[in-house]
Structure 1
């Protein structure tokens, strides 16, 4: 991680759960973090007095392109640019494919696929423009990005995760063609104990009483592992199951 000390990371969905854990892990390793969330105060609360990294909290909605562009503009004007991007924010709507309102699908696609892609494009263009050849883009995906959906209610959500897997490989090939040493990767966890299921209809926090789960810090540790590898090593995907996961 020494090469990234004092550099700038952008973490989306930084206000809680996995994003919050990643933000604080990066701060502890001396990375300056721009934490983005729809509620700025939640990001501000993550500041660590004893951490060498500095936290910058910004309010943004990743489903809106103009909001994303405003974040990158602020970073360029105040911190020179992004060296690490962690695409963490995601939305889950658990409704049947034959009954779900179109708006539910649109929201997931706008955040999980388009928002992620716009953030990625802006970060890569910024790195190339500044001559940064050791940058890193990490997607927080999920096991649904590799496996068939377990039921119809999460089929569209799983489709967005599988799109992320395809986009990551496409990005890798794009950078190879450019002869760029910017690295990319994704972390794909199973069930993680977060606030993610507080607003879903069928998947509820009750599942944590019976199903094995991971903690947000487990995912943050995987991100640090990916970043800390020698520049010749690109860890492309880390799949993390909770111990005794039946799926």
Structure 2
């Protein structure tokens, strides 16, 4: 814990899934953590198990610019600095594009992309001051296309390349920017998929490790990218996919 004592991390989408697991991991490592989520009850529930003196839970909608600025200001008021920003908040819609509603497009882009833009921009001065870093949560869906997920693919593809571009721009100021790109992960967002045995058999066939990721496994990679062991890692979109991206796409032969 002493290794990260005095460091401050902001995690969005921290009320469940990968965000909650990341908040717990960072807190366990000694960071002061700011948990941001749209639903206050969810972030409060995660926060109640963390040390109160270095935990702050806030209700924030990252698709709103003013609320992202509020989040940074509240972090500084509570802890005086910002070292790590984890842009994890996300949402998804599925289905053919011809049937998609404009409101669905805007909702996904607002949370998955605008939120990364608004919050990162607001945090840059503080991250430059501390020599901090950004870890974005993209997806394997930001590295390649999925069936009937074009809106989500567009948002995560933008996050992937935004990560690369910001790594170039901010690296010269001592701020690293990386992303994790998980495949199917056991979260509230995917619980319906996880309950579909036929679908999960297909995933097991394609993922060499044969299962979905656990949120804690993704959180561990986020913690690595945020920490000093990754101090020369910049501009990387790191698959956390059980070997899925190792395949050339052809099915198993036996």
TM-score scaled by structure 2? Answer: 0.84
Shift of residue 222 of structure 1? 0.6
**1:136 is aligned to 2:133:** yes
* Partner in structure 1 of residue 79 of structure 2: 79
Report the CA distance shift for 1:51/1:67 in structure 2 as closer, same or farther (over 3 A): closer
Separation in structure 1 between the aligned mates of residue 240 and residue 44 of structure 2, nearest angstrom: 29
* Partner in structure 2 of residue 167 of structure 1: 162
Contact 1:24 1:48 in 2 (8 A): no
Cα offsets for 1:18-55 (capped at 9, x unmatched): 00000000000000000001122222222476869822
SS in 2 for 1:191: coil
Contact 1:191 1:242 in 2 (8 A): no
Name whichever structure is richer in helix by fraction.
Answer: 2
* Partner in structure 2 of residue 204 of structure 1: 193
Separation in structure 2 between the aligned mates of residue 157 and residue 50 of structure 1, nearest angstrom: 32
Separation in structure 2 between the aligned mates of residue 18 and residue 39 of structure 1, nearest angstrom: 15
Calculate the aligned-residue CA RMSD, in Å.
2.4
Report the CA distance shift for 1:50/1:143 in structure 2 as closer, same or farther (over 3 A): closer
Separation in structure 1 between the aligned mates of residue 34 and residue 18 of structure 2, nearest angstrom: 15
* Partner in structure 1 of residue 60 of structure 2: 60
Within 5 Å, give how 1:1-247 maps onto structure 2. Answer: 4-47=4-47, 54-128=54-128, 131-133=129-131, 135-147=132-144, 149-151=145-147, 153-176=148-171, 179-197=172-190, 204-207=193-196, 209-210=200-201, 211=203, 212-230=211-229, 232-234=231-233, 236-242=236-242
Structure 2: state its 5+ residue gaps.
204-210, 250-254
Contact 1:29 1:53 in 2 (8 A): no
TM-score scaled by structure 1? Answer: 0.86
Report the CA distance shift for 1:17/1:50 in structure 2 as closer, same or farther (over 3 A): closer
Shift of residue 216 of structure 1? 0.2
